[in-house]
Amino acid sequence: MLKTLLAKHPLAQYTCAAAIGASGVLCFAPFGLFWLAPIVWLALFALLQHARSARDGALTGLAFGLGFFLTGVSWVYVSLSVFGGMQWWLAGIAAFLFCSVMALFPTLVGWLFKRWQPAAYWRQALFFAVLIAAVDWIRGWIFTGFPWLAVGYSQAPPSPLAGFAPLLGVYGLSLLVALSGALLLRWRSGLVFMALAVSSGLGLQQIPWTTPIGEPISVALIQGNVPQEMKFRPEAFIRTLNRYRELVEQNPAQLTLLPETAIPAFFDQLPAGYVESLKATAQAHGGDLVLGTLSGDGGERYWNSAISVGKSPLQIYSKTHLVPFGEMIPPGFSWFMHIASIPMSSFSRGPEMQAPLAVAGQFVAVNICYEDVFGEEIIRALPQAGILANLSNTAWFGRSLAQPQHLQIARLRAVETGRPMLRATNTGMTAVINADGSVQAVLPPFTEGVLKGEVRAHQGMTPYAHFGNLGFLLLAGLLLLASQWRGRA
């Protein structure tokens, strides 16, 4: 009956695709229904099989993508309207256009699938899975990249498929999810494949790809919960500085982390004695403090930076992967920045290769904000770095899905690299993540607090840390050849 309805009424097919796409957000944090992901992409596969042409397949993919991204990254509207100063209707149009661009990727899947759809069912399943994973991968680097909500992130721990992450990375997980879903259309073969995938994933989780080294160090991760609308106001500046200093003094640790741009001023222009007081507090406990702030060359260039003070020599990490429209202006879009009131929106890029910070007797690979979305950039600091650290300020996105989604992404980075991840954020979610991706502790979002714990550095290299996405690309290429080896539909 459903097949007849979809065949006679194309609009019903597109509506169904949009609803299925919207439900896909439930597979990700904070909902965490990882087991639902194969079912969602099974439904998309079935709809594409029923599409009558490449055009129909493209429209089906577009409807799915709009449902998926309009629900999953709707927080873009918050950053533009509430904190970017745009009028609500203009911010709505901009957010819709952004989600529409993201929806072009599943649109491409639908068109390619119908254009070169193989005849045999199992070849169709392979082709579909490769397309889903390939567009996730392309979305991760084209136009500087936005791989947020790549299918594989749904399989962060506790999903048993997370065991494949140290081998194939997040895009390999996208491939497995889509293939599992497509094969479920023939439920016997699908259940057999799922059983093999789950058991293999659980088995891979038992492999100690990396091992702890040295003694644990104490950490203090400070969540200031400074409202974004107050962050750059002069009347709140001294209050912010004093509060962070109090939190540092009251919570001694060997390694203290402050969030991204916790100190919203140039490091060399801070009030006299302020940096020295932070340094003295860190030194008193034989440790170091890393704070998010701004650095500049005295001219027109300035960086979003993390700077260490304390027992170790002063060191700087400057963010290299900048957020388009938030931290850098893409060519031809200066007009957009006149509409949006986003402060400090023209940062310079830090060097692509930067050494880990040598702090608290450890090598710590710092990344800032959404840099941890890019797995191949994180592994640049390995094997030297034994700990990963992310400084973020997602206050830009208000009380939305952005905070738990970002935590889920960080958990998968920990699994891929076999390294613990420390997250110090302004409004959430500040967390200590173990090397297996499990969360040791996390602060409630939108509260002021300090998360204290212990962490041990890890040594060794996972296959993903060695080769990046090469393993996934080779596997996807082989499966693509297998799907197209014989005749086409």
Q: Which residues are annotated as catalytic?
A: 260, 319, 369
Cβ atoms of 181 and 45 closer than 8 Å = yes
User: Quick one: 217 exposed, middle or buried, by C-beta within 10 A (0-12, 13-18, 19+)?
Assistant: buried
Cα 447 from Cα 467, distance rounded (Å): 39
Strand partners, 450: 222
- DSSP annotation string for 252-302: --SEEE--TTSS-SBGGGSPTTHHHHHHHHHHHTT-EEEEEEEEE-SSS-E
Cβ atoms of 362 and 217 closer than 8 Å = yes
CA dihedral 406, 353, 467, 107 (to 10 degrees): 50
Amino acid identity, residue 308? S
Cα 165-477-109 angle, rounded to 5 deg: 85
Axis-axis angle for helices 165-183, 402-417 (nearest 10): 120
- DSSP annotation string for 366-427: EEEGGGGG-HHHHGGGTTT-SEEEEEE-GGGG-SSTHHHHHHHHHHHHHHHHT--EEEEESS
Cα 222 from Cα 220, distance rounded (Å): 6
Residue 166 in tokens? 């140290």
- Percent of the chain that is helix, strand, coil (3-state, to 5): 55, 15, 30
